[in-house]
A and B are shown apart, each in its own frame.
Chain A
Amino acid sequence: MIPAAENQNPDPTPEKRPADRPKSRAWRNTGVWVAAAAMILCAVYVVGFQRRYVKTLKTLRPYQGVLYSAKDGERLIPLSVGYRLPLSDFLFMRSIQAFGGMFRGVRNYQSLFNLFFVITDLDPKYIDVYKFGNLVMGDEGGQQEQGIELLDKGMILNRDKYRLPYEAMYCLMYQMAETDRNRQRALFYIKMAMKSKDAPDWLPRQLPDILAKKGKYHQAIRYGLQGYLEALDQRQPVLIGVYYRRLLSTIHNWQLDSLLKEAIAFKKAHGRDIASVRELFEANPPFEYETLDMLRVRQIVMNYEANGKKLTPDLEKIFQLCTNVTHEQPYDARILDDPLRLNDRPPYMVMFGYNSGDRFNFIQSEEDVMGYLERYLPQMRAKLQEYWKREKKLPVRFEDVLPPGSVVMREPFGGKWIYEPGLMTGKMDTWNRAIFRSSMHPDK
Chain B
Amino acid sequence: MSKVFAIAINTFREAVRNRILYIILIFAILMLVFSGVLKNFTISDDQRMIQNFGMAAINLFGVLIAIFIGITLIYNELEKKTIYTIVSKPIDRSHFLLGKYFGLLLTIYVNVLIMTLFFLIALHWQEMTSFDAMQNYLWVGDGKGGLSLRMPVSVFYIWTAIRAVAFGVATFLGLYTPAFAAGIMATTWMTCLELAIITAFACMYSSFSTPTLSAFFTVFTVVCGRLSVELYYFAVMLAQKAGGYEKLLPGQKTWYNVSIGAFHVIPNLGLFNRREAVIYPETGWDMIPYTIAYAVAYSAAVLCLSILIFRRRNFK
Q: A65 near B: Cβ within 8 Å?
A: no
Q: How far is the CA of A96 from the CA of B52 in the complex (A)?
A: 18
Known: A3-B81, A93-B42, A96-B43. A81 touches B53 (CB 8 A): no
Partner pick for B81 among A2, A78, A81, CB 8 A cutoff: A2
A-B contact number at CB 8 A? 55
The listed residue with most B CB atoms (<10 A of its CB), out of A83, A86, A129, A132, is A86
Determine whether the beta carbon of A85 is less than 8 Å from that of B56: yes
Q: How far is the CA of A382 from the CA of B174 in the complex (A)?
A: 77
- The interface residues of chain B lying within 8 Å CB-to-CB of A81 are 222-223, 226-227
Q: How far is the CA of A85 from the CA of B52 in the complex (A)?
A: 6
Question: What 1/0 mask marks residues of chain B from 259 to 280 whose CB sits below 8 Å from any chain A CB?
Answer: 0000000000110010110011
Nearest CB of chain B from residue A122's CB, rounded to whole Å: 11
Determine whether the beta carbon of B45 is less than 8 Å from that of A128: yes
Number of B residues, CB within 8 Å of A: 29
- The interface residues of chain A lying within 8 Å CB-to-CB of B53 are 86, 89
Q: B92 near A: Cβ within 8 Å?
A: no
The listed residue with most A CB atoms (<10 A of its CB), out of B49, B82, B85, B269, is B49
Q: How far is the CA of A97 from the CA of B56 in the complex (A)?
A: 22
Known: A1-B85, A78-B230. A96 touches B42 (CB 8 A): yes
Q: A278 near B: Cβ within 8 Å?
A: no
Q: A6 near B: Cβ within 8 Å?
A: yes
Q: B315 near A: Cβ within 8 Å?
A: no
Q: How far is the CA of A132 from the CA of B56 in the complex (A)?
A: 25
Q: How far is the CA of A125 from the CA of B277 in the complex (A)?
A: 12
Residue of B at shortest CB range from A135?
Answer: B43
Q: How far is the CA of A44 from the CA of B250 in the complex (A)?
A: 65
Residues 55 to 109 of chain B near chain A (Cβ within 8 Å): 56, 59-60, 80-82, 85
Nearest CB of chain B from residue A410's CB, rounded to whole Å: 36
- The interface residues of chain A lying within 8 Å CB-to-CB of B41 are 93, 96-97
3 closest cross-chain pairs (CB), A and B: A128-B44, A86-B56, A82-B226
Q: Which residues of B contact A (CB under 8 A)?
A: 38, 41-45, 48-49, 52-53, 56, 59-60, 80-82, 85, 222-223, 226-227, 230, 269-270, 273, 275-276, 279-280
Besides A6-B81, A85-B52, A85-B275, 5 more A-B contacts (Cβ < 8 Å) are A78-B230, A82-B269, A86-B56, A128-B45, A129-B44
Q: Which residues of A contact B (CB under 8 A)?
A: 1-3, 6, 78, 81-83, 85-86, 89, 92-93, 96-97, 125-126, 128-129, 132
5 contacts between A and B (CB under 8 A): A3-B81, A81-B222, A81-B227, A82-B273, A85-B279
